[in-house]
Amino acid sequence: MIASIEQAIRQRLSDGLGQMVTGVFTYGGEFDGEGLAQVVNQFPAVWIMFAGIKDTVRHDTRGSRFKAIGQFTVLVGDRASGSEADSRFGGLHRHDVGTYRLMQTVRHLLTNQSLGLQIGRLQPGAAKSLFSRQMEQDAVSVFALEFETYWFEDALQDGDWPRPAVSDVQQAQVYADVSAYRGRTDPEHPDFKGANLEFRIPPKTPDQPADMAATVEPEVKHD
């Protein structure tokens, strides 16, 4: 589910932002260390990262279904050949978008969206300045925008292992992954074909013994 959400966010922003940015990317630590100068050349651009599961709470009385509350962060960055303020407000040229405009557009595109997935609608959270500085030739500005959603996860029964042919998409994916890497699984549940039932019809008269009552024993087969 996490990968599906991140990919869906990326696709929606890529479609919605169009030529406002050079691209929408998955964040892999580009703003850390010495790689910053190289990343700036891609501005204006957007990066997406999964920030973690904020909380997990039980959702049913059986304790087999849980509500996972996840957080995603969208990083927006831009640069300007003028002042640091220009990197935030935008400049005179069409490509000088500014991080403020990017922030507003990203929040507008994502808020209240379920992205076609079985999740809670994305809710906007804090928006924080990651850094804003003057570099050798350009001023750069980067903001981090937080979004929150939730989804449901069904737990295995105590002692069970993943099984094939389950209706839940997440469990089916887990089974496929575990099987691909030769992890332990359980066989598919046998198809239910019926049960042996016995019906005893009460006697018509009080004097008739119970063991003389008519008995119907339907025959039901098991494969």
Domain residues of the chain, as ranges? 2-154
The string of pLDDT tens digits covering residues 73-114 is 999 988 776 655 555 555 556 566 778 999 999 999 999 999
Residue with tokens 């997990």: 56
Mapping DSSP onto H, E and C, the string for 25-79 reads EECCCCCCHHHHHHHHCCCCEEEEEEEEEEEEEECCCCCCEEEEEEEEEEEEEEE
Second-level CATH architecture of 2-154 = 2-Layer Sandwich (3.30)
Pairing mode of beta strands 65-80, 123-134: unpaired
Residues of the chain with pLDDT under 70: 33-35, 81-96, 134-137, 165-167, 189-223
